[in-house]
Chain A
């Protein structure tokens, strides 16, 4: 080798320079990482070690109009596991299954939750019973990734009595998460699933809090509370409803479990829903946090269809309760007034192409509109229908909002069926030559034919009859009361109609047997043909007839006669009026 000192010192200089450059490069790389990108890495380090544990906010308490609790929160426990992978979650749950009962379904459900958000603790038991929690707490040291926390659990003290409108809560589903309106929901959170819980989800939800646990690289919880300041959940404001729980419970006791029926009671002056019940009912408490499969099957296979809401979902021909709509249209058109007679007296039927029967084979004789309402004479209304004609009848029905939902603040209300127009609809349905406008008018005039209404929408119509012709939108929670003019009749005409309806619930009328002492009830019975099964029974009415404070609609599937429904309705009215009227005290 060339070992001349000059060569050596030259090479040493080259080596020193190379070393210096190399170390400068290394140092600047560290400067870049540690000083310039410090914030970014610091955030990543924090993200590494902290796991968010959601703290569920207590949902808003739901009250009735008198401050009685409809929905509240009970302390419950949720058990979650932090896992770095789906497999480790599975094996951890398998280990736990040696000490507490865990089904394969629960394992898979937990894995699904984990997949949707791997950094969040996967809920394995959304609602753990206390004894399970006690066992887990004992073995906590062996399962450092276990997170047990108290979480509010929804409870409905009157359970089955409020099932028809309150809904229930449950874990948000994948479908709900995919919906853009739920963009701020995370898997595992509770959400209102129907009824008020869903309609007022935003108001009832509250704000979820968060707690941090510190974990190590394997996802084991190293430090719990105090690792980082937690954000306390914020409870939602209570929700006050118009429901009168006393009346609601009374309604349920009247219907019992054997009838298939719907009842709705509304204050016609502001649309406040006082009671709303569909029988048979179910227990929403069993739905909270996941419906047990056997209960779900039981409810769904029940031929009485407890989950089918007969007030807002059931659509039935309104039958004779519709005669008030026909009357109102004819009076508004100036065709018929309360004292007018029809050309053909009732002899038990009417010939128009074919023979149209009256419900009373004996016939009602030559009567006026008032009497026709009292006795529900079909022949009279056939002729009113012919006078009105199909197009006026369809237009009138549309003006009465018989093709619109009532707008009650509940999800899943069904839209009533009613012809959108007098021509095309029928042409499409039956073919241009397949129908005769006259026959259709006859059927429509007595509430049969192409007309199926929900109980709640009929009740809205009757709020107009009970007041000045303005229909009130039904409201379980008072929003902005909304009353829309759907009838333009004079005060005298309105009073006359109400008197005629009062005649229905009198010794002269079809609801003779439903009379209650001390209260004048106005209303209309209906018996909807339902061949080959027994007829459905309707009653729509209000009380007191002079100045109505409550509209009640009752529908009884297979009830056979309108008066069956009427007897229920008048009892409901009496209960409400007696409870809300201060006893007269004479101070002389």
Chain B
């Protein structure tokens, strides 16, 4: 393969996001009563350097090589996830869950981060091998299994946030492979039933709409019946499931609707985060000078709620800048994806984009209570070594796909 110019805009955007992120990790440590957080930016910088090296290495691996290595990586991921469930441990606010692979009490890493990457690779492989996109629910069993197995393992940890990311990846990649929008809606219908079941009228309306959809889309008869049945079951089961939830779990869901019902406990995080962001105004309180952050009102300010620090200290301008950088990254990824020279590479690019997108929407949305709190990090910003590494590995893969694709080096066409 001939040497090609790397995708400089992509690297620049990712670099800018990382520098922005590490600055915010630094600021997050600047509190009135200093804690361990004060030094995390140094660790994060080291990880940044390591991650860039890894990205460079990844960009040297051809897409063919990735294709070859994907099944092994996927199996390895499953093994690690199983191991995590067996001997894993928790950390931080999720101390009771099992998301860290631990050996002799030392945390090695979070296999779920690796799983995001390998699931994208494996799903791309499965979808790319088809001539036509799946047109019926039955044809979807293979891709569903590829995502489903690791998803179940992760939900057992339990790690709801990563589970949501997998679902986002699954839907985004099906869309990119050309699956019909109505079919996607049918797949999603049981989940929608589950949510709407709390209002009998809403659920009834949704059920009628579903029947119409089934009528016009005309899936196979058996599929149609099964789908409708599943919807009925989830609709009936939802209230029972609700009763089965522990009060604190119910509270968590209700708090999303109105944080003030439990302002001191489960609603505290999101209220303080909103106050921090809202008090930032146009230009913010100045880098490192956020009072909510300095006085520890912002929870998890170096990880899950780091965007609240951006909002408080850099204001609406800073928020817009950060979101614009993310938007640029995603637009670049779409471009790479649509110019990739084979379906497999194209699907990988889109899957990686989907993974980032879900993280950003969920994490940023959570700081303003637009999304329920699930504890998933913000790419390039949140403190965490393996996540930084995973993000840059994605950048590396994208660089490679970009190099191999059409219009490479065509800077004028950005």
Contacts and interface: CB of A to CB of B under 8 A. Distances in A.
A215 interface: yes
Given A1-B178, A7-B178, A30 B130 contact: no
Given A2-B133, A19-B331, A30 B291 contact: no
A30 B310 CA distance: 11
Interface stretch (A32-40, A88-96, A232-240): A32-40
Contacts of B128: 1
A217 B296 contact: yes
Interface in B284-304: 291-292, 294-297
Contacts of B130: 1
A26 B32 contact: no
A48 interface: yes
B331 A16 contact: yes
Interface in A44-68: 44-45, 48-49
A38 B277 CA distance: 9
A297 to B, nearest CB: 41
A23 B176 CA distance: 20
Given A9-B338, A30-B319, A49-B295, A35 B281 contact: yes
B176 A11 contact: yes
Contacts of A3: 342-343, 346
B408 to A, nearest CB: 16
A12 interface: yes
Given A45-B291, A48-B295, A30 B279 contact: no
A508 interface: no
B191 interface: no
A24 to B, nearest CB: 10
A114 to B, nearest CB: 15
Contacts of A223: 32
B296 A23 contact: no
Contacts of A222: 32-33, 295
A2 B132 contact: yes
A317 to B, nearest CB: 63
The DSSP consensus for interface residues of chain B is helix
B346 to A, nearest CB: 7
Interface in A326-361: none
Contacts of A33: 274, 277-278, 311, 368
Contacts of A49: 291-292, 295, 297
A31 B316 contact: yes
Nearest to B342: A3
Contacts of B347: 1
Contact of A48 (B275, B335, B361, B365): B275
Nearest to A47: B275
B250 interface: no
A223 B32 CA distance: 9
Contact of B282 (A35, A215, A216, A218): A35
B323 interface: yes
A11 to B, nearest CB: 6
Contacts of B331: 16, 19
Given A11-B175, A216-B33, A220-B33, A45 B275 contact: yes
Given A3-B346, A45-B291, A23 B338 contact: no
B282 A34 contact: yes
Contacts of A42: 278-279, 281
B296 A1 contact: no
Contact of B368 (A8, A11, A30): A30
A28 B278 CA distance: 13
Contacts of A1: 127-128, 130-133, 176-178, 343, 347
Interface in A8-26: 8-9, 11-12, 15-16, 19-20, 22-23, 26
Nearest to A20: B327
Interface in A283-313: none
Given A8-B346, A26-B365, A45 B338 contact: no
A17 B337 CA distance: 16
A214 interface: yes
B10 to A, nearest CB: 16
Given A3-B343, A19-B334, A222-B32, A41 B365 contact: no
A29 B133 contact: no
A264 B272 CA distance: 64
B33 A48 contact: no
A20 B338 CA distance: 17
A27 interface: yes
Nearest to A216: B295
A19 B327 contact: yes
A15 B334 contact: yes
B319 A34 contact: yes
A31 B295 CA distance: 25
B320 interface: yes
Contact of A12 (B338, B361, B364, B370): B338
B368 to A, nearest CB: 5
Contact of A45 (B276, B334, B361, B364): B276
Interface string B172-202: 0001111000000000000000000000000
A41 B278 contact: yes
B297 A48 contact: yes
A83 B177 CA distance: 58
Given A1-B133, A2-B178, A38 B279 contact: yes
Contacts of B375: none
A26 B323 contact: yes
B281 A38 contact: yes
29 contacts: A1-B132, A1-B177, A2-B132, A3-B343, A7-B178, A19-B331, A19-B334, A26-B323, A27-B319, A27-B320, A27-B323, A30-B323, A31-B316, A34-B281, A34-B282, A34-B311, A34-B319, A35-B281, A40-B278, A41-B279, A42-B279, A44-B278, A45-B279, A48-B272, A48-B275, A49-B291, A216-B32, A217-B295, A222-B295
Given A11-B178, A12-B334, A33-B277, 17 more contacts: A1-B177, A2-B178, A3-B346, A8-B338, A19-B330, A26-B370, A30-B320, A34-B281, A34-B319, A41-B274, A41-B279, A44-B279, A45-B278, A45-B297, A216-B32, A216-B33, A222-B295
| Top 9 closest pairs, chain A to chain B, by CB | A41-B278, A45-B279, A216-B295, A1-B177, A217-B296, A12-B338, A2-B178, A34-B316, A41-B279
